[in-house]
Structure 1
Amino acid sequence: MSIPEQRSDATTAMAPADWSIDRAAQYYNLSGWGAGFFSVNEKGHVVVHPMGQPGPVIDLMDVVEDIRERNIGFPCVVRFQDVLRARVKQINEAFGKAIAEMSYGARYYGVFPVKVNQMREVVEEILDAGAPYHYGLEAGSKGELLVVLGMNADPEALTICNGYKDEEFLRLALLGRKLGRKVIVVIEKLSELPHLLRLADELGVEPMIGLRSKLTTRGTGKWEGSSGDFAKFGLTVPELIHAVRILKEARKEHCAKLLHFHVGSQLTEIRVVKDAVNEGARVYAKLRKMGLPIEYFDVGGGLGVDYVGTHSNGYTSSVNYTMDEYVGDIVYNVQRVCMNEGVPEPHIVSESGRAVTAHHSCIIMNVFGQIEIGSVEEIAQASIPQPNEPKVVREMREIVASMTPRNRAEAYHDAAAKKEEALQMFKLGILGLEERAVVESLFWKLVRGIADLNRGKKRLPRETKDLGDKIADQYMANFSLFQSAPDHWAFDQLFPIVPVHRMGEAPTRDTTIVDITCDSDGKIDRFIEGDGVDETLSLHALRPGEPYYLGMFMTGAYQDIMGDMHNLFGRVNEIHVFVDDEDPEDFYIEEVIPGDTIEKVLSRVQYEPADLFRRVKTALDQKVKEGAIRPKEGVSLQDFYESVMKGYTYLGGV
């Protein structure tokens, strides 16, 4: 699809005179959500600082050009594996620093919950970066445990087994114990404990047992329902007491190695972290006094990332604390309770997945067109009066012509009523299609005029204050929201969206973004803007024949594995980018993972590509026999059908 010419009277989203690269960085809030990994260079390009600032720099547009030269195709997931490694290092060193400063009597053992991103390349990088810290893995299903048993070979690192477990799951965990690994089975429901003890005795191995406590403390944000008295997982206080009794009766209390709790993913408030750790530490202390030699205190997940960059709890996609504050509060409060209770300080375990993976991945998409409400051509044509126009058209012209800053609300009411009147006349056959089109174009002319008057004003009539958002352009981007950012569709998770180039130019179009699926939900109409959230995003005017690229950032947690195949758009192309050790301003692409072909996607939904090809070929052969298609054309059409079948599921050549 070709990019249409831009309106000469384009609504100015940003005043060009006030624009600068620094202003661009502020408007798109790169410093707020980027955690030091992203900024804008003097060319107006988004750059990546894979190891934080200062340090090596990668120009994202250079990566885009490399993608184009390799004919990889957009959309494309770009993984900055050095960012992943940096985040692993940050969280381990944050705990190490806090433990040393407070003279805490044990150490930190982190684990990565593979459910956050099970991709092999992600897990491998995390384990490699975490090796100096004996960083482990967490599994919540048999499939994940099979992966973890194969990948986590460090005898000092932990393997935490969460989730509901059947006999096969428990046997797999005990297989890990046979291998000499520190595999801890966390008891989520009481009935799992006797089964585990029986199987361990049958296999002749000592289990490492964790008990998950169902804390009363509730989390905050979108996942607060995963904690509290009515949470899905964990043992109540009476059940914990029963578990202690079961262990003692079996003379296996020495196998109790870990206490675990979890108050929700993406915790927005540090207060909740403090409350949960205090409650959990008291439970730990009481269990120690009851004779369980627990060594590990697992605070679960919850360490949030600031997608919005406001550093507040005003948005569920933001947080009001830093990683250092989170870590410091955990270490301090565990130490304080242990000192008060007179029990040993346990090793601290956390299962931070989102905080480790979110920043390392982004998706680059090309914008291939736009949808305007009331284009300049339509308005210009409607603005020319015609002889013998119906009364409703003349009256709409009068409303538009008489609109002033003082009467804009009244003019809007009158115009909306006149537009509805024209619609009713059209339904009754009184008004023609052309006349109805003129009325609607004049209505949008008035709406655009009001939006211009409203821009920058704080006190506005309620009926007109949202008109600018309603008439925003829809930029058509080559991606599927359901595949690449399902959390935005499912529960309005915010992801930073930024043009990766042209940052030195003022963005002049208020926009929303629509994807290429045939679904009205395939749109983004909530954006991170400055220090808040808005229903539109200011982007640059599209130029005919010139590509325009957007990046959706912080997609490394959950999005890869939760994406679906709506409209049979499959997995996207993917590249892995590393800093060039010999040139800190250069990079290399270590691996290219092709996205799904159409035939691969069809096979997943039980269509056999060869059978589909045979059916189409038979139909074409019949048309050739009938003389409706020439034989040479028939062969060409067969080849075309087959080539599309083997191609990328997304748009190409746009």
Structure 2
Amino acid sequence: MKTKYIDLIEQTYDFPQEEFQLEDNKLQFHGIDLYDLVQRYGAPLKFTYLPKISDNIQRAKQWFGEAMEKHAYKGKYHYCYCTKSSHFEHVLNEALKNDIHIETSSAFDIDIVEHLKKSGKISKNTYVLCNGFKRDQYIQNIARLINNGHKNCIPVIDNYEELELLGESIEDNFKVGIRIASEEEPKFEFYTSRLGIGYKNIVPFYNQSIKGNPKVELKMLHFFINTGIRDTAYYWNELLKCLKVYVSLKKVCPTLDSLNIGGGFPIKNSLAFEYDYAYMVDEIIHQIKQACDEAGVDVPNIFTEFGSFTVGESGGTIYEVLYQKQQNDREKWNMINSSFITTMPDSWAISKRFIMLAINRWNEEYERILLGGLTCDSDDYYNSEQHMNAIYLPKYRKDKPLYIGFFNTGAYQETIGGFGGLQHCLIPHPKHILINRDGEGNIETSVFAEQQTAQEFLSILGYGAVKRQEAVINTKKVLESSKN
């Protein structure tokens, strides 16, 4: 009878997989011994495997390159990374090794862009696409970037007033894009995205506000839907509607030469995950070329803005099971030494599921359990995997520590969880390490951030104010005595 954890995984999924292998009954991730990692750095532990970022960028470039060659597509492809997925410097540094461009969504993103430009990580040839609702500081920062000579900064118009606000702040001529307000899936609570301008209003908006404006050059039409790029009737229908707008706009606007199809490539959320990326890219390129050929207009350059796809699969989180509580005849709760709400907020806020696997003890019997976090919030739990309405782990034993890993958590979780700030019930943010490989492929690790301390929380909460005030007083006394 097969009752061991390894039996369950091998019977349920195709295992091992490209990034997951087993050695001495311990889980390996891209050849990294995770159990050894925990022994060195402790748990809870966050990690970022940097090479995966470059790997995914290069995969996407290859898919688009092959599709364009197959269909004799004359436009160019530009890969953009949307910084909101993870603003960390180590993420941007790795991504920018691959000759990519940047998409921003708020005012302080521009400060990051200027820092990267000053440090030589990006150049004047790097496209900076500015999305989001723009007012005051964001407008001023975009204008500053363009006024300082970055002509490849393209603000994407989200509403009618933005064009005028930009024109007032930008000294010279500038380029813009227009975002389509796509129609949402029927299951959404609203019909049309709050972002962008309606399909029917884009050509009239161009004719009225841009066509006769010698200062503005329309270069891009931006298309994005919340559900992402998926092989559904809804996605293909919205793409075709977008292409109709592009064709109509291109016929009256000769400067229009780019189509931004946004982001939305899904990432692996289960060992049973299946998605044919190459097919989707091939079909998108085919649809765009066919629509343009039939209308007799030039095909556009293609921009994509991949955030989660760029950084998501580089991240992971490891917890230790502290204790098991038998709450009734059926339910066993394994309590982890951290919080799902603070370390993986998407699991709590939008019921997102990640790949979850035991790190050790694969050769032991398994049991069905629920996972609970340390906060006193009833929503701090994780109760099912993506394709199973349950969680199975090696049986809890007080004398044998059990470690569990959640994978592909690299996008959004730190920023949504408030990295370095207050956490729910003052549960500290875990230690975060960076994993890289040297020129010979050897694994290198470094600590990016230590686990938060009580003093850091107290300082944020204002409890350090008295000490700061005493320090100011003491400084004044020293200065006064030195004068005397």
* TM over 0.5, shorter chain: yes
Q: What is the alpha-carbon distance in structure 2 between the residues aligned to residue 187 and residue 524 of structure 1?
A: 40
Q: CA-to-partner distance for each residue in 1:393-426, whole Å, 9 max, x for gaps? A: xxxxxxxxxxxxxxxxxxxxxxxxxxxxxxxxxx
Match of 1:116 among 73, 85, 90: 85
**Is 1:333 aligned to residue 307 of structure 2?**
no
Determine the structure 2 residue equivalent to 1:94: 63
Unaligned runs of 5+ in 1: 1-14, 50-56, 68-72, 312-319, 375-443, 445-470, 615-654
Which residue matches 1:607?
463
Q: TM-score, normalised by structure 1?
A: 0.66
Do the aligned partners of 2:34 and 2:359 also contact (CA within 8 Å) in 1?
yes
1:81–1:577 contact (8 Å) kept in structure 2:
yes
Residue in structure 1 matched with residue 211 of structure 2 by the alignment: 248
Aligned counterpart, 1:491:
350
Distance 2:80 2:227 in 1: 15
Native 8 Å contact 1:138 1:148 kept in 2: no
Give the one of 429, 447, 450 matched to 1:594. Answer: 450
Distance of 2:270 and 2:398 partners within structure 1: 32
Q: Which has the larger share of helix? A: 1
SS in 2 for 1:138: strand
SS for the counterpart of 1:191 is helix
How far the C-alpha of 1:28 sits from its partner, in A, is 6.5
1:520 and 2:378 equivalent?
Answer: yes
Q: CA deviation at 1:574?
A: 0.4
Larger Rg: 1
Q: Counterparts of 1:569 and 1:20 in 2: how far apart (Å)? A: 30
Please tell me the residue identity of whatever aligns with 2:115: G
Determine if contact 1:74/1:364 at 8 Å carries over to the other structure.
yes
Residue 646 of structure 1 corresponds to none
Tell me the CA shift for residue 81 of structure 1.
0.7
Report the Cα offset of residue 148 of structure 1. 2.3
Please show how residues 69-468 of structure 1 align to structure 2 within 5 Å. 73-128=42-97, 130-131=98-99, 135-151=100-116, 153-177=122-146, 178-200=148-170, 203=171, 205-216=172-183, 218-219=184-185, 229-240=191-202, 241-252=204-215, 255-311=217-273, 321-373=275-327, 444=329
2-side partners of 1:155 and 1:22: how far apart? Answer: 55
Change in CA separation of 1:47 and 1:598 when aligned onto 2, cut-off 3 Å: same
**AA aligned opposite 2:166:** L
Q: CA deviation at 1:252?
A: 4.3
- Report the counterpart of residue 22 of structure 2 in structure 1: 41
The AA in structure 2 aligned to 1:576 is L
Give the SS at the match of 2:302: strand
- 1:546 alignment partner, one of 382, 400, 412: 400
Deviation for aligned residue 1:162: 0.7
Match of 1:24?
Answer: 9
- Separation in structure 1 between the aligned mates of residue 185 and residue 254 of structure 2, nearest angstrom: 27
Q: Distance in 2 between the 1:268 and 1:602 partners?
A: 46
- 3-state SS of paired residue (1:539): strand
Q: Whole-Å Cα distance in 2 between the matches of residues 90 and 59 of structure 1?
A: 25
Asked whether the 8 Å contact 2:365–2:395 carries over to 1, the reply is no
Q: More displaced, 323-332 or 169-178?
A: 169-178
- The CA deviation at 1:348 is 0.4
Q: Which moved more, 1:76-85 or 1:57-66?
A: 57-66
SS of equivalent residue, structure 1 residue 163: coil
Whether contact under 8 Å (2:27, 2:359) holds in the other structure is yes
**Counterpart pick for 2:35 among 61, 64, 67:** 61
Question: Is 1:567 the counterpart of 2:435 in the alignment?
Answer: no
Amino acid paired to 2:160: L
Q: Deviations over 1:110-135 (max 9, x none)?
A: 1111111112211221112x22xxx1
CA distance in 1, matches of 2:467, 2:137: 38
Alignment partner, residue 482 of structure 1: 341
SS of residue in 2 equivalent to 1:367: strand
After TM superposition, the score normalised by the length of structure 2 is 0.88
Identity of aligned residues (%): 22
Q: Which amino acid aligns with 2:83?
A: V
Question: CA 1:24–1:310 in 2, change beyond 3 Å: closer, same or farther?
Answer: closer
Alpha-carbon distance in 1 for matches of 2:136, 2:380: 42
**Number of the residue aligned with 1:378:** none
Match of 1:436 in 2: none
- Separation in 2 of the partners of 1:373 and 1:196? 60
CA offsets per residue over residues 427-479 of structure 1, 9 Å max, x none?
xxxxxxxxxxxxxxxxx4xxxxxxxxxxxxxxxxxxxxxxxxxx131001011
Cα deviation per residue 1:304-336 (whole Å; 9 max; x = unaligned)? 22413545xxxxxxxx63221221122111111
What is the Cα deviation at residue 193 of structure 1?
Answer: 1.2
Summarize the Cα distance change of 1:580–1:250 in structure 2 as closer, same or farther, 3 Å threshold.
closer
Shift of 1:552: 1.0
Deviation at 1:272, TM superposition (A): 3.3
Tell me the distance in 2 between the aligned counterparts of 1:611 and 1:275: 62
CA distance in 2, matches of 1:545, 1:104: 62
Paired residue type of 1:243? Y
Q: CA deviation at 1:486?
A: 0.8
In the alignment of these two chains, the number of paired residues is 459
2-side partners of 1:472 and 1:29: how far apart?
Answer: 29
Greater per-residue strand proportion: 2
- RMSD (Å), alpha carbons: 2.5
- TM-fit CA distance, 1:197: 2.3
Aligned letter for 1:190? Answer: Y
SS at match of 1:249: coil
- Residue 327 of structure 1 aligns to a residue in which SS? helix
Partner of 1:381: none
Separation (CA, whole Å) in 2 of partners of 1:324 and 1:609: 56
Report SS of the residue matched to 2:194: coil
Range moving further from structure 2, 168-177 or 255-264: 168-177
Contact (CA 8 Å) 1:527, 1:533: kept in 2 or not? Answer: yes
The structure-2 alpha-carbon separation of the partners of 1:164 and 1:325, relative to structure 1 and needing over 3 Å to count, comes to same
- Provide the rounded CA distance (Å) in 2 between the counterparts of 1:518 and 1:611: 31
Q: 1:231 to 1:20 in 2, by over 3 A?
A: closer
The change in CA–CA distance for 1:486 and 1:20 in structure 2 (over 3 A counts) is closer
1:502 deviation in Å? 1.7
Tell me by how many angstroms 1:220 deviates.
8.2
Task: Please say if residues 599 and 609 of structure 1, whose CA atoms lie closer than 8 Å, have aligned partners that are also in contact.
Answer: no
Asked if 1 retains the 8 angstrom alpha-carbon contact of 2:231 and 2:280, the reply is no
C-alpha distance in 2, partners of 1:327/1:166? 35
2:21–2:27 CA contact under 8 A, matched in 1 = yes
Deviation at 1:343, TM superposition (A): 0.8
Residues in 2 aligned to 1:324 and 1:101: alpha-carbon distance in whole angstroms: 12
Q: CA deviation at 1:518?
A: 1.4
